[in-house]
Amino acid sequence: MYAVYNLTTSPNVSVEDQSGPFRVLKHKLDYSIPYENAMEAWFAAKMGKHKRQLVCSLDVDDVRIAEGMMQWMVGYCEMDSGVRNVTSLFGKMITGKMTGQKAVSPCYRGEGTIVCEPVDDEILLIDLAEWPDGIVISPNSFLACSGGVRQSVTSRTSLSSAVFAKEGLFSMRLDGEGTAAILSPCVEEQLILVEITDDVLRVDGSFAIAWSGSLTLTVETLGSSATASFLSKEGLVNTYRGTGKVLLAPFIREELSEDALADSASKNESASSNTVS
């Protein structure tokens, strides 16, 4: 028997969403940051950037969690890595490399509570009953899923979609009954859901974070000719064809290079010194 206090009842924590065995916690403020970073953290919080954590209840269902994402657990919990031998481990490592996800997703069973590591991204809880054809997710977005969800690898139908779509040659596909927790660059209220029936969706960039397993992804020119594509300056676009759904983010987070970060820090230091008389 166990009891956990101040996990979801803290005034600094709110439960954003819950489905199946999962709850998404949002930390309103991060009091552990260094004093010199307090101003940036305050403005980030005002812009809606918060740390989030996934809480898993094994009393509801078994869960699979991405490798290394378990922070702490309490109760009679058993972990099964799914790795039976060296060959199995090698196969999972290859699969992880192909899909851009963690190599191993340990399965936790029993009775208890598991809390995952905090993340900077948003956490989306997706009911797979709403995706009868399965759901394909973008690289590095898998966080967890309930026990009834099956993980598999799906490949592109053409080499062009792997080379130019920036989605890789293989992706993780989730099927079955249950809930999946995936990472998103923006909150659910900002996401755009596009449903097509024997139609085509063209996306200029890696804005799709998930799509139906029934859709075919290729890379094509937007114009009817190479000249038209050149003049429109659109070039190649990711093309989703068939019947299904695509979940789109209105923006993608751009990662700054080390040179850009150093240049930004230098400019901030120069501006700070200029304000001191």
- Give me the CATH number covering residue 201: 3.60.160.10
Residues near 60 by beta carbon (within 8 Å), at least 6 away in sequence: 20, 21
Chain mean pLDDT for the chain: 79
Residue 196: inside a domain, yes or no? yes
Residue 42: inside a domain, yes or no? yes
140-196 tens-digit pLDDT: 899 999 989 998 887 665 555 555 555 556 788 999 999 999 999 888 889 999 999
**CA dist 223 to 91, 148, 231, 242, Å?**
41, 43, 9, 20
Residue 118: inside a domain, yes or no? yes
Distance of CA 191 to the CA centre of its chain: 13
Residue 4: inside a domain, yes or no? no
Cβ-contact 196, 240 below 8 angstroms? yes
Cβ-contact 165, 241 below 8 angstroms? no
H/E segment holding residue 38: helix 38-46
Cβ count near 124 (within 10 Å): 23
Percentage of residues in the chain having pLDDT higher than 70:
72
Among residues 203, 191, 198, the alpha carbon closest in space to that of 215 is found at 198
Residue 269: inside a domain, yes or no? no
The confidence band for 254, taking pLDDT boundaries of 50, 70 and 90, is low
Greatest mean pLDDT range, 80-84, 135-139, 216-220, 252-256: 135-139
CA–CA separation, 44 and 262 (whole Å): 20
Tell me what pLDDT residue 241 has.
93
124 or 217: whose pLDDT is higher?
124
pTM above the 0.85 mark?
Answer: no
Domain range for 192 is 13-254
Residue 102: inside a domain, yes or no? yes
Residues near 161 by beta carbon (within 8 Å), at least 6 away in sequence: 167, 217, 218, 219, 238
Q: Taking the CA atoms of 183, 184, 186 and 187 in sequence, report the sign of the dihedral they define.
A: negative
Residue 273: inside a domain, yes or no? no
Q: How many domains are there within the chain?
A: 1
Residue 261: inside a domain, yes or no? no
